[in-house]
Structure 1
Amino acid sequence: MSYSSLDQIYRSILLSKYFVKGWGKPDSLKRLFKFRRIISNRDYIYKLIPKDYPITIEKDEVWSDYRVLEGHFRSPFDIHLPNIMPEEVKKAHFQVILPTKWKEENYKPVCLHLAGTGDHYFWKRRNFMCKPLLREAGIGGIILENPFYGSRKPEDQVRSNLHNVSDIFVMGGCLMLESLVLFNWCEQQGLGPLGVTGLSMGGHMASLAATNWPKPIVLVPCLSWSTASGVFTEGVMSGAIPWDVLNYQYFSDDIYREEIRKMVTIIEDDAFKAGQHFIKKYSDKIDNLQNLQPDQQHEKEKSDSNLKSSNGIPASEVLSSKDPGSCPLMAEGDEKKHDSVDLLAKSFAAMSNTIETDTEREKTDAEKEKERLGKDILDSLADSKLQMLTYKVKSSSDQPADVKREVQDYQLRKDFAVHRKSTVSSYLSSDLNQVVGRKLPFSLLGISPAKVRDAEAMQFMRGIMDECTHLKNFSVPVDTSLIIAICATEDGYVPREGVTHLADVWPGAEVRYINTGHVGAYLLHQTAFRQAIKDGFLRAKEKLNMPH
């Protein structure tokens, strides 16, 4: 998928950075992940919010041809997960835009509008979405102020730049529970059918909010997708992340790797798709290896002399041999090297044949520790369920100097390669390269060891974002036929490659596409967003009038 030039240029001229203080407190992340498992269960979380949850209406005015109410309430998130959000965030503020008179007594549609990135206060959504929808289709609107935005912005926060990664999970949890409060309030006021929408980040928050409502609800997520992980790891927004800070914290505190990482739910279908994308990306590089000129081949054989296994077989022979144990990515003929993650798994298995352990003498404690760290890397690979071979470390005094330097590098990073499961994702092979004391030939796949190591924090980001934002981890909305998603074909902010299609997560949902990028869609296609909302409420109205 190609990205819009406008998206890339727009992001490049912005100087703001997100998550400048890092991941957030490890204890907060652990509490958030545990609570995610509660709020993702619709039957359970709905019972946690009383239908008569206390709301204060502080303003009720008539402006020309519409009525405006303003109110606030304590965020239920603060009740169920106390001491995790700043004081300013705890009070939820909202504004309601209603017609002075409804056209039909039994049809009073109201749509909740959630904020996109940078959408502070009420005025944007009121003027660009709520008022036009009220004029064009008689659809009322509720505007909920985003946590960490507007009057809910912490005093030391600059604009929309959240301090910690954990803040965006707090934001999502708040909006899910606060939306339930407002939906219940609407029903008490005799309003309905109900809907929820949002642009960009607001679109994804709207999707999460809809999962917890136990009745049919119109959902129109605009410029979002099935997960937010790609936004921060692949899209143009990834350039606004201080990866040096996140890397430093990730390698400095073992709790991120040893405890929090294990709490992440693996989305296997996405892992499989990421593996396919990985193979396609590097297949051309592998073809180049096969087509080396004689002089290049001589140089390659010369460089391969440092990559011999303990039985003396050069790595180049292991990778290019035609026997059943050879690397499938090098295979010719009918076998398509990019059709399945299985091929990639087998190629890594072949590489493992170059790594053996000296078992003829007694090992020291240090050697045993290195061997332990090398075991069980990649014991499953995405959807194929292929069991990988156990990797062991060759630890002896006759190792090449470059290998010793690499071992020292790992020790400086506090031996972060720990016994854990890995999934195929961007720079999938990072876990393989963490076999302490042995240099794997990742350069043959076009990946430098330094780049692989630096990708560790990015993989952690992808994992925790999927944990808290992937729609597969939440309940399916009651009626998916009321879902109309709007996507931009060249969206540089919300990449869709390598993740589950929205219609696969929610069968029956409609996905519409706009031929532009993220910024272009926001600036030029507000009409398309409003039309989708109107279409969704027409569907809901038809269902209301159907005989039961």
Structure 2
Amino acid sequence: MSLTDRLYRQFIYTKFFTKGWGSSETLFRLLALRDALLQNPQQIAASKGSVNISESRSHDNYEVHTGNFQSPLAEFHPGFLPKESELAQFQMVLPKSWPSSNRKPICVQLAGTGDHRYWRRRKLLAKPLATENGIGSILLENPFYGVRKPLGQTRSALQHVSDLFVMGLGLALETAALFNWCLEQGYGPLGITGISMGGHMASISSTFWLKPIAIVPCLSWSTASVAFSQGVFKDACTWQVLEKDMEQASKIRDSGKIRSLSDPVLPSAAQGKGKPSLEALTFMLELMDTFTHLSSFPKPHPDSSIISVVAKDDEYMPRTRVTPLTEVWQNCEVRLVAGGHIQSYVVHHDSFQKAISDAFDRLPANATLHATN
């Protein structure tokens, strides 16, 4: 148990999902799009965007390029992303010296909860990877974050539960577009990583890429449902609003299209003011598992190199009574770091960096060639 995780959450007053689950129409459309993409993952793998590099800066031993492109989710599936999120924005951190002329590794980094803009990922991971490991990074701004944050949203507090699923689909399409652009520019092999929510988004995005890549989810696991049903993050949800919005929930719950793939210990009844009822908590579990459980997605390419870094005492992403990641992805190595979620996020970036470097090193020798075919 991590006392730091529990204490930290008590000092964060931002509440999530202040406008409820999202409309039943949006949830049904998301399910339909997700199912269509699962039946034909090539749709995501073939995603492309017209990338514009708007600014470039050179430093002593690395370069920084800032760019943007129209999100494929906005271009081909309009109506999901808010207007402010339609333009995907990223920053690219590249080493001045590559491992070799035909090996220019690039790792896409997705943002965790509260990680707006680029400075944190750039300073803590991208610059060390570029200068010490010869690995470039693309720091993609999540939909609903930073300059892509919709009007009316407070900081990182998504207003609807459905916004999280829109973010995930947007990132999967945008990551594939960036991968394809990298290959066109002569970069490779490719990889993806993220911490906390970014780690899980990276895992989901990786499943739609049909070629070998390095996959390094950090401080995440096989499903996001545990974060909202039994982790300390559960208390950040606006359950009073979600309870009142159960009419919207009932339409999709009664459709038979959602189901739980986890078995956490849930309370038998409401736990007091501001706490969720068993009905609302069960629906949250079912909805989150339906949209985020990795067993619902394709497996990564068998030659992909997967290393997961998890915290021993993680109270944000507990791993009890849920499917082990190694059961979903049998070729995944799991590395354990000491401490809870918050402590690990602060002090274990060297472990994340090492895992990323190792994952790239383990890719087959022909991964760069394979990626271009």
Pick the TM interval, shorter chain: over 0.9
Shift in Å, 1:542? 4.4
Could you report, residue by residue, the CA deviation over 1:85-114 in whole angstroms, capped at 9, with x for unpaired residues?
A: 211011100111112232311211110010
- Out of 60, 63, 67, the position equivalent to 1:64 is 60
Show structure 1 runs of 5+ residues with no match. Answer: 279-425, 428-446
- Out of 210, 214, 217, the position equivalent to 1:221 is 217
Shift in Å, 1:454? 1.7
The equivalences for 1:17-416 within 5 A come to 17-41=15-39, 43-46=41-44, 49-50=47-48, 53-250=49-246, 253=247, 255-268=248-261, 270=262, 274=263
Report if aligned partners of 2:106, 2:190 keep a CA contact under 8 Å in 1: yes
Task: Assess, with a 3 A threshold, how the Cα gap between structure 1 residues 42 and 59 changes in structure 2: closer, same or farther.
Answer: farther
Give, in whole Å, the separation in 2 of the partners of 1:180 and 1:453: 37
Shift in Å, 1:201? 0.2
Report if aligned partners of 2:215, 2:359 keep a CA contact under 8 Å in 1: yes
Could you report, residue by residue, the CA deviation over 1:298-335 in whole angstroms, capped at 9, with x for unpaired residues?
A: xxxxxxxxxxxxxxxxxxxxxxxxxxxxxxxxxxxxxx
Task: Assess, with a 3 A threshold, how the Cα gap between structure 1 residues 150 and 263 changes in structure 2: closer, same or farther.
Answer: farther
* Secondary structure of the structure 2 residue equivalent to 1:6: helix
Task: Assess, with a 3 A threshold, how the Cα gap between structure 1 residues 470 and 158 changes in structure 2: closer, same or farther.
Answer: same
Task: Assess, with a 3 A threshold, how the Cα gap between structure 1 residues 546 and 174 changes in structure 2: closer, same or farther.
Answer: closer
Residue 360 of structure 1 is matched in structure 2 by none
Report if aligned partners of 1:264, 1:464 keep a CA contact under 8 Å in 2: no
Task: Assess, with a 3 A threshold, how the Cα gap between structure 1 residues 544 and 181 changes in structure 2: closer, same or farther.
Answer: closer
Give, in whole Å, the separation in 1 of the partners of 2:270 and 2:122: 51
TM-score when normalising by structure 1: 0.64
Shift in Å, 1:18? 0.4
Report if aligned partners of 2:195, 2:217 keep a CA contact under 8 Å in 1: yes
Counterpart AA for 2:343: G
Task: Assess, with a 3 A threshold, how the Cα gap between structure 1 residues 508 and 47 changes in structure 2: closer, same or farther.
Answer: closer
- Out of 349, 352, 363, the position equivalent to 1:526 is 349
Give, in whole Å, the separation in 2 of the partners of 1:458 and 1:501: 22
Give, in whole Å, the separation in 2 of the partners of 1:55 and 1:544: 24
Could you report, residue by residue, the CA deviation over 1:18-60 in whole angstroms, capped at 9, with x for unpaired residues?
A: 011111122111111111112334644236524xx31111123
Compute the RMSD of aligned alpha carbons: 2.2
1:469 paired with 2:292, answer yes
Counterpart AA for 2:324: H
1:455 paired with 2:278, answer yes
Give, in whole Å, the separation in 1 of the partners of 2:251 and 2:18: 23
Counterpart AA for 1:116: G
Give, in whole Å, the separation in 2 of the partners of 1:65 and 1:47: 33
Give, in whole Å, the separation in 2 of the partners of 1:545 and 1:27: 42
* Secondary structure of the structure 2 residue equivalent to 1:475: coil
Could you report, residue by residue, the CA deviation over 1:211-256 in whole angstroms, capped at 9, with x for unpaired residues?
A: 0111001000000000000101110000111111101110xx2x52
* Secondary structure of the structure 1 residue equivalent to 2:277: helix
Shift in Å, 1:264? 3.4
Report if aligned partners of 1:480, 1:506 keep a CA contact under 8 Å in 2: no
TM-score when normalising by structure 2: 0.93
* Secondary structure of the structure 2 residue equivalent to 1:40: helix
Report if aligned partners of 2:189, 2:368 keep a CA contact under 8 Å in 1: no
* Secondary structure of the structure 2 residue equivalent to 1:143: strand
Counterpart AA for 1:14: I
Task: Assess, with a 3 A threshold, how the Cα gap between structure 1 residues 473 and 16 changes in structure 2: closer, same or farther.
Answer: same
Percent sequence identity is 42
Shift in Å, 1:265? 4.0
Q: Which has the higher strand share?
A: 2
Report if aligned partners of 2:20, 2:161 keep a CA contact under 8 Å in 1: yes
Residue 479 of structure 1 is matched in structure 2 by 302
Task: Assess, with a 3 A threshold, how the Cα gap between structure 1 residues 54 and 8 changes in structure 2: closer, same or farther.
Answer: same
Task: Assess, with a 3 A threshold, how the Cα gap between structure 1 residues 191 and 129 changes in structure 2: closer, same or farther.
Answer: same
Could you report, residue by residue, the CA deviation over 1:171-206 in whole angstroms, capped at 9, with x for unpaired residues?
A: 101100000000000000110000000000000000
Report if aligned partners of 1:264, 1:463 keep a CA contact under 8 Å in 2: no
Residue 6 of structure 2 is matched in structure 1 by 8
Report if aligned partners of 1:480, 1:507 keep a CA contact under 8 Å in 2: no
Give, in whole Å, the separation in 2 of the partners of 1:151 and 1:546: 36
Shift in Å, 1:533? 0.4
Give, in whole Å, the separation in 1 of the partners of 2:80 and 2:256: 19
Task: Assess, with a 3 A threshold, how the Cα gap between structure 1 residues 6 and 456 changes in structure 2: closer, same or farther.
Answer: same
Task: Assess, with a 3 A threshold, how the Cα gap between structure 1 residues 181 and 450 changes in structure 2: closer, same or farther.
Answer: closer
Counterpart AA for 1:493: Y
Give, in whole Å, the separation in 2 of the partners of 1:219 and 1:175: 15
Could you report, residue by residue, the CA deviation over 1:120-154 in whole angstroms, capped at 9, with x for unpaired residues?
A: 00111111000001111100110101111111011
Give, in whole Å, the separation in 1 of the partners of 2:60 and 2:294: 41
Show structure 2 runs of 5+ residues with no match. Answer: none
Select between 5-14 and 64-73 the one with higher mean Cα deviation.
64-73
Counterpart AA for 1:259: I
Task: Assess, with a 3 A threshold, how the Cα gap between structure 1 residues 480 and 457 changes in structure 2: closer, same or farther.
Answer: farther
Q: Which has the higher helix share?
A: 1
Aligned length: 368
Task: Assess, with a 3 A threshold, how the Cα gap between structure 1 residues 450 and 544 changes in structure 2: closer, same or farther.
Answer: closer
Shift in Å, 1:170? 0.8
Residue 514 of structure 1 is matched in structure 2 by 337
The equivalences for 1:481-496 within 5 A come to 482-496=305-319
